[in-house]
């Protein structure tokens, strides 16, 4: 049977997936081996394991430990073609994706999984002074800034300038900010402790700033309080209830006073990719595309959206959070559903089943001994057992076996020795240098 949505009457509709992150890759994997032509487009040639980016930024892991070439991941899927290209728009009338280089790729079914980007809440001028953590380039830039600041402090003669160079401010008390602050404190107070002759890295100040009344608002209060205590024991100064007023080359302004800091890291806000614009749709406040329970884009037949770029609600009407496990489960669900719907006996006619999210536990790590896990409905775990579970989950989720073994060994080595092998300055010098 031909697909009613197929404009050229092809026996099997072409599925185009934009984005090879957690969501898009899961769709492609679920369609691997199906009698369906699939094209997966991504601006990078690798899949990035975003939750471990902070470990690259703090010299615990190297970029190659958390990224895997997309072609390698899908090498056993002959029906899935990979295109490296940046999508710039969608022509919904012609049913084609437009790439930034001017070329087009036709589709009969389109899956949009382009994730999210950082937002500075209208203060884009802060971005050069406070890199965010969304890509390998940014993680390397942060690592360079932190390490360069210590190098400069080693040679600084003015005590005030030395103190500024040895102050690191992390903005945003969500999981990204908490993980970054804890990991930087460990880097400064332990891994770098004996590397310098004129400065004492254990006196470096790590400050975590959150505008709201408490850290980790997505977690129960007791777990958030435990995380705060763990951070403070690591030497992080936590400042809640203080909104950032300005960020420039000298530091951060809070409550009208400048906190001098050579390194500022932005972990405060995310916004969905501009995919809603491509489809001519009104997004929600966070830029997301509203989708129906089966992940189809309302008013755009044959187009689906998932992951961070989609606004998908649970049975109670609450928006699903921007988490890797949400994107991955949605991708697997949609890939399987499309496979059945487009290759089964009633190909092209049956509606897709609704997506139901199963919470496998929301986690944040606070240093090498501690983590928090919230499984919902009052089930929680914290401390070292939570850290072990977190490490096991993340190692299993890492794509390739060799990568898993490597990361496991590095974590074990680091755990036993406090060493960080990846503390190399390789990115271009920071602009404020």
Question: What positions carry a catalytic annotation?
Answer: 179
In angstroms, how far is the first alpha carbon of the chain from the final one? 64
What radius of gyration do the chain's Cα atoms show? 23
Closest approach, Cβ 410 to ligand FAD, in A, equals 18
Closest approach, Cβ 346 to ligand FAD, in A, equals 29
Closest approach, Cβ 142 to ligand FAD, in A, equals 11
Quick check: 66 and 398 in contact, CB under 8 A? yes
Helix (H, G, I), strand (E, B) or coil at 130: coil
Which residues touch 1 (CB under 8 Å, ≥6 apart)?
346, 347, 348, 349
In angstroms, the CA 31 to CA 385 distance is 36
Closest approach, Cβ 167 to ligand FAD, in A, equals 22
Closest approach, Cβ 270 to ligand FAD, in A, equals 7
Which residue has the CB atom at the shortest distance from ligand FAD?
Answer: 21
Quick check: 251 and 129 in contact, CB under 8 A? no
Quick one: which of 378, 304, 380 has its CA closest to 335? 304
Interface residues with ligand FAD (CB under 6 A) are 18-24, 41-44, 50-51, 53-54, 86-87, 113-115, 133-134, 175-176, 273, 307-309, 322-325, 327
Q: Given the complex with ligand FAD, which of 180 and 341 has the nearer CB atom? A: 180
Q: Phi and psi dihedrals of 45, rounded to 5?
A: -95, 10
Give the tokens for residue 360.
């496998």
Give the CA distances from residue 194 to residues 164, 182, 191, 314, in Å, rounded to whole numbers and listed in that order.
20, 19, 8, 51
Closest approach, Cβ 396 to ligand FAD, in A, equals 13
Q: Given the complex with ligand FAD, which of 142 and 149 has the nearer CB atom? A: 142
DSSP string, 342-404: HHSTTTTTSPPPPP------EEEE-SSS-EEEEEETTEEEEEHHHHHHHHHHHHHHSSSHHHH
Quick check: 66 and 53 in contact, CB under 8 A? yes
């Amino acid at each position: 049977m031909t697909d009613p949505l197929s404009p050229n009457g092809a026996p099997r509709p072409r599925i185009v997936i934009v984005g090879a992150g957690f969501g898009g890759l899961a769709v492609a994997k679920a369609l691997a081996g199906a009698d369906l032509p699939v094209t997966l487009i991504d601006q990078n040639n690798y899949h990035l394991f975003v939750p471990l980016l902070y470990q690259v930024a703090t010299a615990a892991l190297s970029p190659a430990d958390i990224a895997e070439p997309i072609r390698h991941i899908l090498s056993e899927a002959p029906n899935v073609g990979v295109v490296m290209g940046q999508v710039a728009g969608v022509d919904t009338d012609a049913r084609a994706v437009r790439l930034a280089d001017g070329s087009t790729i036709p589709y009969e079914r389109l899956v949009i999984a382009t994730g999210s980007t950082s937002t500075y809440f209208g203060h884009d001028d802060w971005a050069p002074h406070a890199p965010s953590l969304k890509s390998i380039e940014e993680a390397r830039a942060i690592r360079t800034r932190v390490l360069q600041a210590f190098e400069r402090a080693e040679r600084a003669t003015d005590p005030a300038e030395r103190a500024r160079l040895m102050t690191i401010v992390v903005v945003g008390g969500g999981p990204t900010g908490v993980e970054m602050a804890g990991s930087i404190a460990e880097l400064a107070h332990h891994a770098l402790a004996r590397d310098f002759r004129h400065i004492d890295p254990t006196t470096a100040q790590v400050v975590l700033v959150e505008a709201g009344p408490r850290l980790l608002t997505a977690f129960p209060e007791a777990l958030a309080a435990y995380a705060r205590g763990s951070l403070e024991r690591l030497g992080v100064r936590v400042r809640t209830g203080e909104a950032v007023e300005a960020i420039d080359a000298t530091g951060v302004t809070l409550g009208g006073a400048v906190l001098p800091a050579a390194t500022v890291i932005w972990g405060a806000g995310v916004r969905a990719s501009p995919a809603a614009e491509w489809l001519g749709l009104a997004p929600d406040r966070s830029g997301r595309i509203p989708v129906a329970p089966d992940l189809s884009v309302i008013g755009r037949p044959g187009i689906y959206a998932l992951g961070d770029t989609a606004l998908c609600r649970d049975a109670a009407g609450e928006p699903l959070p921007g988490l890797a496990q949400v994107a991955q489960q949605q991708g697997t669900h949609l890939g399987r559903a499309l496979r059945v719907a487009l290759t089964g006996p009633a190909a092209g006619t049956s509606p897709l089943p609704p997506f139901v999210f199963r919470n496998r536990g929301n986690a944040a790590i606070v240093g090498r001994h501690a983590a928090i896990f919230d499984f919902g409905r009052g089930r929680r775990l914290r401390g070292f057992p939570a850290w072990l579970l977190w490490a096991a989950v993340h190692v299993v989720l890492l794509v390739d076996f060799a990568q898993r073994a490597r990361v496991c060994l590095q974590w074990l080595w680091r755990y036993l020795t406090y060493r960080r092998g990846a503390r190399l300055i390789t990115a271009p010098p920071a602009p404020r240098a």
